[in-house]
Amino acid sequence: MKFSRLKRRTEIKKGQLDIAPLIDVVFQLLIFFMLTSNFVFQPGIKVSLPRALTGEVLNSESVIVTVTGQDLLFLGDKPITIQDLTATLKEAAQENKTLLLKADTNASLGRVVELWDLCREIGIPQINIATNQKPGESGGGLGS
C-alpha cells in the first residue's frame, strides 16, 4: 500500500489585512451603545445666589429651603406651600436641625424676612444663608 503525499493546494500569502469588516463592527457597536445608554438629566431649581466676601462651608445636616426669583418656595427640590413648610420646620426644630436658605438675588426681601421670622418663631436653632464666594462656587453663609 502506497501512501501518496497529499499536496496542499492552499497558499498562505502574507500581505494586506482587510479592515472594512472591523470598521463595520466597531461602527455598529458605537451605534448600539449610543442608543442604549441613558442620558440622565437631573432637574434642579435655577437660583442665582448672592456673592459674599465672607462665608464658611457648612458641614452639618440642614433643612434646605430655596426661594426662587419669582418668590416660589422649595423644600429640597420639591415645591412647598408656607403651611406645609411650617409643619416641616416644626419637626426640624424638634430634631435641633439648622436651616439653609438659598434665596435668589431677585427674590423679594419680604419673602426672605417672612421665612426668617417663621424660623425664629418656630425655634430653629440656626439659620444660614447660602452665598457664592467665587463665581460658580457655592458656599455656606451667615448664621443668626
Write the pLDDT tens digit of every residue in 45-103. Answer: 667 677 766 666 666 678 888 888 888 899 888 888 888 989 988 988 888 888 888 88
Q: The domain 62-143: what is its CATH number?
A: 3.30.420.270
Write the pLDDT tens digit of every residue in 95-142. Answer: 888 888 888 888 888 888 888 888 889 888 888 888 877 654 444 444
pLDDT of residue 139: 45
Dihedral sign, Cα of residue 40, residue 62, residue 92, residue 53: negative
Which residues lie below 8 Å from residue 142, measured CB to CB, with a gap of 6+?
A: 52, 54, 55, 128, 129, 131
Q: Within 13 Å, how many C-alpha atoms sit on residue 87's CB side?
A: 4
Write the pLDDT tens digit of every residue in 1-44. Answer: 555 566 666 666 677 778 888 999 999 999 998 888 877 665 66
Residue-range domain boundaries for the chain: 62-143
pLDDT of residue 45: 64
Distance of alpha carbon 144 from alpha carbon 105, whole angstroms: 20
pLDDT of residue 77: 82
